Every structure is written in C-alpha cells, then in structure tokens.
C-alpha cells in the first residue's frame, strides 16, 4: 500500500512540474491557458539563422507589448515576431467587445 501512495505522489509532482510555465518577460508563473505564445527569429546569420528561433511564453498583453518593443528595438531589420493565432483571436475579441 505504501508503494501505491508513493507512486501517486510522484506522478502528481511530475505532472505539476510539466505544467509549470513561467512568463519570459516578468518571470511570473502562468496559470491561465490564455497566455501568449510567441516565436521569434531573424535572418541575420544566413543559414545559421535557424539557431535564432526562440519560443516565448508571455503572461499578459503588457508583457507581450513590452517584449515586442524590446525585440524590435534591437532589430537589424530581418527580425520576425510571430504570435500564436488563437491568443491573438482572444485579444481581438476582448478589445472589440
Ligand atoms: Zn509576464
């Protein structure tokens, strides 16, 4: 019986670790599924630009705007900032209510 309890606890802990997403801008733990998933990349390094791909999780519109602003401030002109479509749909719906 003890073993069963231990396995259950371990499974629960593992699930919690895999669910934990933090904001790449402010570091807050993201609990809401309605966060913003962003992919950034640029073409500055020719063929090596594949290494410039970054996946970001951002907790709020404020963090998204701050992050986007900082990203383009350091831009050399070839940067791309892709925001996951579903999240943008939510944002647009909220803004146009
Ligand atoms: Zn944040």
CA of 6 from ligand 1 middle (Å) equals 35
Structure-model confidence comparison of residues 79 and 11, the more confident one: 79
Domain that holds residue 79: 23-95
Structure-model confidence comparison of residues 11 and 65, the more confident one: 65
41 alpha carbon to ligand 1 midpoint, in Å? 20
Q: Tell me the pTM.
A: 0.69
58 in any annotated domain: yes
Cα(42) to ligand 1 centroid in Å equals: 23
Q: What is the mean pLDDT of residues 4-20?
A: 67
Q: Say if 30 falls within a structural domain.
A: yes
- Overall domain count for the chain: 1
Does some domain include residue 64? yes
In sequence order, the β-bridge partners of residue 44 are: none
The answer to whether residue 8 is domain-embedded is no
Beta-carbon neighbours within 5 Å of ion ligand 1: 23, 25-26, 28, 59, 63
The whole-number average pLDDT for the span 66-76 is 92
Task: Determine the average pLDDT of the residues in 39-64.
Answer: 92
pLDDT at residue number 43: 92
Within a domain: residue 82?
A: yes
Looking at residue 13, its pLDDT comes to 67
Tell me if 71 is assigned to some domain.
yes
Cα–Cα distance for residue pair 50/47, rounded to 1 Å: 7
């Amino acid at each position: 019986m003890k073993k069963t309890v231990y396995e259950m606890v371990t499974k629960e802990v593992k699930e919690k670790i895999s669910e934990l997403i933090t904001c790449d801008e402010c570091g807050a733990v993201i609990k809401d599924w309605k966060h913003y998933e962003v992919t950034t990349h640029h073409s500055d390094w020719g063929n090596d630009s594949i290494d410039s791909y970054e996946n970001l999780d951002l907790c709020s519109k404020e963090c998204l705007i701050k992050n986007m602003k900082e990203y383009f401030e350091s831009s050399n002109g070839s940067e791309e900032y892709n925001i996951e479509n579903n999240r943008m749909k939510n944002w647009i719906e909220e803004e146009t209510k």
